[in-house]
Amino acid sequence: MLFAQLSGHVSRSLKQVLMFVMFSVFTFTTLPAYSASKTILVLGDSLSAEYGLERGKGWVALLGQKLQQKNIPATVINASISGDTTSSGKSRLGSLLERHHPDIVIIELGGNDALRGLSLKASENNFQAMIDMVKAQKGKVLLAGMRIPPNYGPDYSERFFSLFGKLAKANKTALVPFLLEGIAEKDEFFQSDRIHPIAGVHPTIVNNVLPNLLPLLSK
């Protein structure tokens, strides 16, 4: 009787151990691997530089907080400057890469090019140069797509918008299809200039970025 009881106890213990091992293996093989800390550099214009906002209320700062809440080890560096164009972004990127060695670069530029009616070909060449610079340092790129009002005609606006998808496809880079998705259609979501979103909708921008960023962080 005692032997039978001991045998039953050992069997139950062995089953518990086996179940724990199987659960551990399943957990660690199905969850994304976020163990290695990543450095994320945001190269943007006023939409990312907290124009008209209290410091720390913009989407870039909120992105860092969101990653921390998710226990994803990452450092977010905001290198955005109001008024930046693709040309000025390109000229700044080399020194930023050398200084920070980012794993991921989010490029949020182009809006000022289009609002000034600049050559789309020149913008495309600048974007391509920035993508090439990041890839040369083994980094990953996330392009933030943008739309503009049809000030220069619908043809120019649509060709500008399609530029982001074209570049992402050609370079096999990640893409946020439209940074202001769910925001651009409502006037009340913008500051008085009708260009810069109010603080209350910047969490929506984070939600637009995050699904396209997380796969890059898990690689």
196 is catalytic: yes
Going from the C-alpha of 153 to that of each of 52, 117, 148, 179, the distances in angstroms are: 28, 10, 10, 21
113 is catalytic: no
What is the model's pTM?
0.85
Ordered per-residue pLDDT tens for the chain, 219 residues: 433 443 444 455 544 544 544 444 444 444 456 768 999 999 999 999 999 999 999 999 999 999 999 999 999 999 999 999 999 999 999 999 999 999 999 999 999 999 999 999 999 999 999 999 999 999 999 999 999 988 789 999 999 999 999 999 999 999 999 999 999 999 999 999 999 999 999 999 999 999 999 999 987
User: What is the distance between the alpha carbons of residues 179 and 106, in angstroms, rounded to a whole number?
Assistant: 11
Token pair 């970025």 is found at: 209
Provide the pLDDT for residue 27: 40
User: What is the distance between the alpha carbons of residues 37 and 104, in angstroms, rounded to a whole number?
Assistant: 11
Among 35, 119, 187, 193, the one annotated catalytic = 193
**CA quadruple 62, 40, 128, 87: dihedral sign:** positive
Provide the pLDDT for residue 16: 53
46 is catalytic: yes
Domain spans of the chain, in order of start: 1-31, 35-217
Among 82, 87, 196, 218, the one annotated catalytic = 196
> Which CATH architecture best describes the domain 35-217?
3-Layer(aba) Sandwich (3.40)
Report pLDDT digits (tens) over 119-139.
999 999 999 999 999 999 999
Q: What is the DSSP string of 127-151?
A: HHHHHHHHHHTT-EEEEE-----ST
User: What is the distance between the alpha carbons of residues 138 and 135, in angstroms, rounded to a whole number?
Assistant: 5
Report pLDDT digits (tens) over 187-212.
999 999 999 999 999 999 999 999 99
